[in-house]
């Protein structure tokens, strides 16, 4: 399977505090790679570093032939990476339609993409004029996903998309991620819920103290639950 | 009844004078409010962009010969463009380098205030100089004649405010500006070049102040210290209206301008200022986000 995104020797800092220590990661085309680890291990920072929102002091992040660490942050999504941040980070004062419009603007996508995305999340079609901050938690997550999918990305970064959601919404997100995999989109998923990981991921990378300790196939994880306990502290 | 009839023309005159003040104030304050709203910085040099607009209008109108209206029209376009370019350069050279840190920005813009002010003193001088109005005709109302130019200031300002509202709420550029205002990091993650947006917004804010100054300079005269009052009044307006709220800025400017006009005519200008300051204090105590602002989350 060909590699879409490669992270090599990545060092990132918040001020003087080093958060990522020579992180190594490989994302293959059309796979769902899940990052597992304790709070503060560096999972979210990894996603932010890919997006250029946290600068890399050393190392490289390569998408195809593009070196992302050399791009200004606003050029990264245009290269084909879409981001669904933790806590959704919608433009709460803007309407649903305006949030989607911003997603479409990123890579100059048109009406057809908009329709496809709204077909995927029909509930949003009924709420286009509503201020996004007034949506329910589940609807907000749908909108965050929809906004990201407006980029028609090659790589999708999802940071705890199921956090605080009802089971029906979690199922919808799982279904969406699976559908994207079938269309060849590669996904990096940060997730705390082990059951969610097992049901959707192809491979799992265990992040600890800003390092990738081990990357395993999800089948290995099913066979060896001890592995999760070792890195995450829960089984 | 007779006293009421006698009272009405005074009230009308005071209201018209207040509306002229409101018109100029709304434009100036909107510039300050946009810069704060989108960039989250306080631009203490905002009044100097206003002054620079007026001084440049004088320079342009005195350099050009021909009908005053032509010189004025050119000044109305050119002066805000030059001020906008200066603001854009200041943003790139100074604010960007200090990464828009709120405290550092206040100090940096105080520095900018003095630099612009002293450059104006050096090259323009300490005199107050008039600019010829583009036209002189009086509109004859039943009770008194009123300057047609002053009425045109109100109309021009209303048009510009409407245009700004249209751009902010109905265009792609406006959407980009609002997205940047609400969440800078997410805006970056969706391809919005936040640095460029900041440069443009800072220039636009300065241009609005400069336009206001060009409009008022035929009535007020250009002077190198004329930036202080608009700065303070703009702060009053944006605090009452709510920083970053266009509607709030316009309503607060109307409130301050018209009440200033009426209270100044019937009582005293000092009382008008005392009341305005009192309103600011009350707003800060009871509704710190302003009448139309949203609370910071």
User: Which pLDDT belongs to residue A165?
Assistant: 84
A84/A216 Cα distance (integer angstroms): 24
Residue boundaries of the structural domains of chain A: 3-80+153-232, 89-152
For residue A107, give how far its alpha carbon lies from the nearest alpha carbon of chain B (Å).
8
pLDDT for residue A150 is more than 90: yes
Q: Which CATH architecture has domain A3-80+153-232?
A: 3-Layer(aba) Sandwich (3.40)
pLDDT value of residue A1: 65
State whether residue A12 is helix, strand or coil.
Answer: strand
Phi, psi of A18 (to 5 degrees): -80, 125
Alpha carbon B176 to chain centroid distance? 23
- DSSP-derived 3-state class of residue B148: helix
B2-286: CATH class? mainly alpha
Which pLDDT value is given to residue B68?
86
**Where are the extended beta strands (E) located within B97-247?**
138-140, 145-147
Tell me the average pLDDT across B99-109.
Answer: 94
For A222, residues 6+ apart whose C-beta sits below 8 A from its C-beta are A198
* Nearest CA-CA partner of A128 in A147, A109, A107, A148: A147
Q: Is A214 left (phi over 0), alpha (psi -120 to 50) or beta?
A: beta
DSSP A207: E
Interchain contact A147–B (C-beta under 8 A): yes
Nearest in space to B76 (alpha carbons), one of B49, B51, B58: B58
Which two three-digit tokens encode residue A83?
């981001």
Q: Is B294 on the interface with A (CB under 8 A)?
A: yes
Nearest to A101 among B175, B194, B195 (CB): B175
Instruction: Report domain extents, chain B.
Output: 2-286
The Cα A201–Cα B64 span in angstroms is 72
Q: How many CA within 13 A on the CB side of residue B114?
A: 5
Sequence-distant (6+) residues with CB within 8 A of B36 are: B42, B43, B238, B243, B244
Say whether B190 and A77 touch across the interface (CB within 8 A). Answer: yes
Q: Does residue A184 come out as left (phi exceeding 0), alpha (psi in the -120 to 50 range) or beta?
A: left
- If you measure CA to CA, which chain A residue comes closest to B193? A74
pLDDT at B153 over 80: yes
What digits encode the pLDDT tens for the residues B155-186? 999 999 999 999 999 999 999 999 999 999 99
Copy the structure tokens of residue B74. 């050119």
In the DSSP assignment, the letter for residue A131 is B
Residues of B in contact with A107 (CB under 8 A): 191
Split at pLDDT 50, 70, 90, the class of B78 is very high
Averaged pLDDT, A135-145: 94
Confidence tier at B10 by pLDDT (50, 70, 90)? confident
* pLDDT above 70 for B21: yes
Cβ of A77 and B185 within 8 Å? no
Tokens linked to B270:
């000092």
Averaged pLDDT of chain B: 92
Tens of pLDDT, residues A179-191:
999 999 999 999 8
The predicted pLDDT at position B4 comes to 67
**What is the per-residue pLDDT for B297?**
41
Q: State which H helix or E strand residue B6 sits in.
A: helix B2-39
pLDDT of residue B2: 60
Q: How far apart are CA A194 and CA B204, in angstroms?
A: 50
Q: Are A93 and B191 an interchain contact pair (Cβ–Cβ within 8 Å)?
A: no
């Amino acid at each position: 399977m060909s590699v879409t995104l490669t992270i090599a020797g990545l060092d990132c800092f918040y001020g003087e505090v080093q958060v990522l220590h020579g992180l190594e990661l490989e994302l293959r085309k059309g796979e769902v790679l899940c990052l597992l680890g304790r709070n503060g291990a560096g999972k979210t920072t990894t996603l932010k570093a890919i997006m250029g929102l946290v600068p890399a002091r050393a190392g490289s992040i390569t998408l195809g032939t593009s070196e992302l660490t050399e791009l200004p942050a606003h050029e990264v999504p245009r290269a084909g990476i879409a981001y669904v941040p933790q806590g959704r980070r919608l433009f709460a004062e803007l309407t649903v339609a305006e949030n989607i419009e911003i997603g479409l603007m990123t890579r100059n996508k048109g009406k057809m993409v908009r329709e496809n995305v709204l077909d995927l999340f029909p509930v949003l079609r009924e709420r286009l004029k509503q201020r996004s901050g007034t949506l329910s938690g589940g609807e907000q997550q749908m909108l965050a996903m929809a906004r990201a999918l407006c980029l028609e990305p090659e790589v999708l970064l999802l940071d705890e998309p199921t956090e605080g959601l009802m089971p029906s919404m979690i199922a919808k997100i799982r279904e969406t991620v699976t559908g994207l995999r079938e269309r060849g989109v590669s996904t990096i998923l940060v997730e705390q819920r082990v059951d969610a990981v097992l049901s959707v991921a192809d491979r799992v990378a265990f992040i600890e103290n800003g390092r990738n300790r081990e990357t395993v196939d999800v089948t290995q994880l099913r066979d060896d639950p001890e592995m999760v306990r070792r890195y995450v502290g829960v089984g | 009844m007779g006293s009421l009839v006698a009272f009405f023309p005074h009230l009308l005159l005071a209201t018209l004078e207040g509306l002229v003040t409101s018109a100029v104030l709304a434009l100036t304050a909107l510039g300050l409010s946009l810069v704060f709203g989108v960039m989250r910085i306080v631009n203490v040099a905002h009044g100097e962009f206003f002054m620079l607009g007026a001084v440049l209008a004088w320079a342009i109108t005195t350099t050009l010969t021909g009908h005053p209206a032509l010189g004025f029209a050119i000044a109305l376009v050119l002066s805000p463009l030059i001020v906008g370019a200066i603001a854009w350069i200041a943003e790139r050279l100074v604010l960007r380098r200090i990464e828009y840190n709120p405290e550092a920005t206040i100090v940096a813009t105080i520095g900018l205030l003095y630099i612009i002010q002293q450059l104006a003193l050096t090259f323009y001088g300490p005199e107050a100089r008039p600019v010829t109005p583009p036209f002189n005709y009086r509109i004859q109302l039943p009770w008194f004649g009123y300057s047609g130019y002053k009425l045109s200031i109100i109309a021009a300002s209303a048009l510009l405010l409407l245009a700004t509202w249209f751009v902010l709420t109905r265009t792609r550029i406006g959407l980009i500006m609002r997205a940047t205002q609400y969440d800078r990091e997410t805006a970056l993650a969706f391809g919005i070049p936040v640095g460029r947006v900041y440069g443009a917004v800072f220039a636009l804010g300065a241009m609005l102040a400069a336009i206001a100054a060009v409009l008022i300079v035929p009535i007020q005269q250009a002077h190198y210290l004329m930036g202080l009052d608009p700065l303070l009044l703009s702060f009053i307006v944006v605090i009452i209206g709510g920083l970053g709220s266009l509607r709030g800025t316009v309503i607060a400017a109307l409130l301050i301008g018209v009440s200033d006009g009426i209270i100044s005519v019937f009582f005293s200008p000092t009382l008008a200022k005392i009341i305005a300051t009192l309103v600011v204090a009350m707003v800060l105590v009871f509704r710190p986000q302003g009448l139309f602002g949203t609370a910071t989350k």
